[in-house]
Structure 1
Amino acid sequence: MTVLVVGASGETGSKLVEQLLIKNHKVKVIVRSPEKLPVSWTTNADLQIITASILDLSDEEMRALVKDSGAVASCLGHNMTFKGLYGKPRRLVTDATQRLCNAIQSNNSNSKTKFVLMNTTWNRNRDLNEPISFGQKCVIGLLRLLLPPHVDNEKAADYLRTQIGQNNSAVDWVAVRPDGLINEDEVTEYEIHQSPTRSAIFNDGKVSRINVAHFMASLINDDNLWRKWKGQMPVIYSKSYQA
């Protein structure tokens, strides 16, 4: 299968690319600064590097990119700088998700495309009754006012839930919600839950970026796992940090 990955130069996106290559997929990545990529990527015959900013692509270019892709994965996020948090584009994740899904649908393919979005446990799945404390509601309310990237993450997932929905003829989706992200070199045991089992604000868990990448790649690779989680927003924790 050919998989298109956006946000591939990020810490989790780069690990997702590596996990997909391990599983023998062909991978296409869209990056703005290819010089920052590992040298091994430039010589890998199974990896196509496209130099572009995702939102600068025309609709026709977007359709061409997704046409032969059996899956699309988004690890897009905002840089943790003042410009990244408060500058444009404020709707990077949402707009990219919408445009990619529109491109998939406009190609009128006979088969469905898997869309995997990396999201966050700070965002509730509003298809479920996920209770949170009054204190967490207050903090999330402040985040909506003060941190545009949080609103962007919420709107991207809401677009998949409400606009793509559960019975789209072209797109099936999963929004993966990692808790506190950390760096580790190897895949370790991890847990997947339908909803958070702890407070993302006051008692967050931990999950390594490589575990998130492994789960996202497994969703794309394993049709049984995909059927289990499609149309949902699973939460991932590394087992070793769930004391």
Structure 2
Amino acid sequence: MKVLVVGASGATGSKLVEQLIIEKHKVKVIVRSPEKLPESWRINDDLQIISASILELSDNEMSEIVSDCNAVASCLGHNLTWKGVYGKPRKLVTDTTRRLCNAIKSNNLQSPTKFVLMNTTGNRNRDLNESISLAQKCVIGLLRLLLPPHVDNEKAADYLRTQVGQNDNFIEWIAVRPDGLINEEKVTDYEIYPSPTRSAIFNAGKVSRINVGHFIASLIIDDNLWTKWKGQMPVIYSKPHQD
């Protein structure tokens, strides 16, 4: 299997790449600064590094990149700096999702390509009419006004839900919603739910980035797991450690 990962140099995307490498799959990554990648990546024959800013690629270049991929995973996010939050491109995740999906469709492949979007529990799955408290609605309303990346995450998932939908011939998708991300060295037990089991604002859970990478890799690799969650927006929490 060959998988394209965008956002591969990020804290979570890198964990996904490592999980795919462990499972002996071929991986393509698109990164702006390949010199910052681990040396083990640069000498790995199963890892193809494409040096580019993804939104600056032409439609033809993007179509060529995804043409031999069984799956595409986006772990893109905005850097937590003033420029990353308020600068351009403000719709990095949404525009990348749209362009990658268009590139996949342009190749008219016989089998659907799997598309996984890393999203956030702060975004509701409107297909399920998930209910949240009035207080959380108010806070999220403020986030939409004050933090452009939140709107970007919402619109990216909405693109998959409403524009790709559930019956596309060329794309099957899952939007993975981690709760509060933390760093850990090893994969631990985690739980997956169709919707949040706690408030993302007032009672957030935690999940390690390596667990998110492991879950996304498992979705891509395991067809039964993929079938269980395709067209959905599963939420992932790490289980509390047992002392």
Shorter-chain TM-score category? over 0.9
1:126 corresponds to: 126
CA contact (8 A) 1:207 1:241 kept: no
Question: Matches of 2:22 and 2:229 in 1, distance apart?
Answer: 22
Shift of 1:239: 0.5
| Partner amino acid, structure 1, of 2:112 | K
Question: Matches of 1:139 and 1:163 in 2, distance apart?
Answer: 27
Q: Which runs of 5+ in 2 are unaligned?
A: none
1:96 corresponds to: 96
TM-score, normalised via structure 1 length: 0.99
| Partner amino acid, structure 1, of 2:209 | R
Matches within 5 A, 1:9-20: 9-20=9-20
1:218 corresponds to: 218
CA deviation vs aligned residue, 1:112-163 (integer Å, no higher than 9, x gap): 0000000000000000021100000000000000000000000000000000
TM-score, normalised via structure 2 length: 0.99
Question: Matches of 2:26 and 2:132 in 1, distance apart?
Answer: 41
1:175 corresponds to: 175
Matches within 5 A, 1:36-115: 36-115=36-115
CA contact (8 A) 1:206 1:241 kept: no
Question: Matches of 1:78 and 1:198 in 2, distance apart?
Answer: 25
Question: Matches of 1:209 and 1:38 in 2, distance apart?
Answer: 18
| Partner amino acid, structure 1, of 2:231 | G
CA deviation vs aligned residue, 1:45-69 (integer Å, no higher than 9, x gap): 1000000000000000000000000
Shift of 1:106: 0.7
Q: Tell me which stretches of 4 or more aligned residues in structure 1 moved more than 4 Å.
A: none
| Partner amino acid, structure 2, of 1:149 | P
The 3-state SS of whatever aligns with 1:89 is coil
| Partner amino acid, structure 1, of 2:229 | W
1:145 corresponds to: 145
CA deviation vs aligned residue, 1:183-226 (integer Å, no higher than 9, x gap): 00000000000000000000000000000000000000000000
Question: Matches of 1:38 and 1:190 in 2, distance apart?
Answer: 27
1:22 corresponds to: 22
| Partner amino acid, structure 2, of 1:185 | E
Shift of 1:241: 6.6
CA deviation vs aligned residue, 1:4-62 (integer Å, no higher than 9, x gap): 00000000000000001111110000000011100100110100000000000000000
CA RMSD of aligned residues (A): 0.9
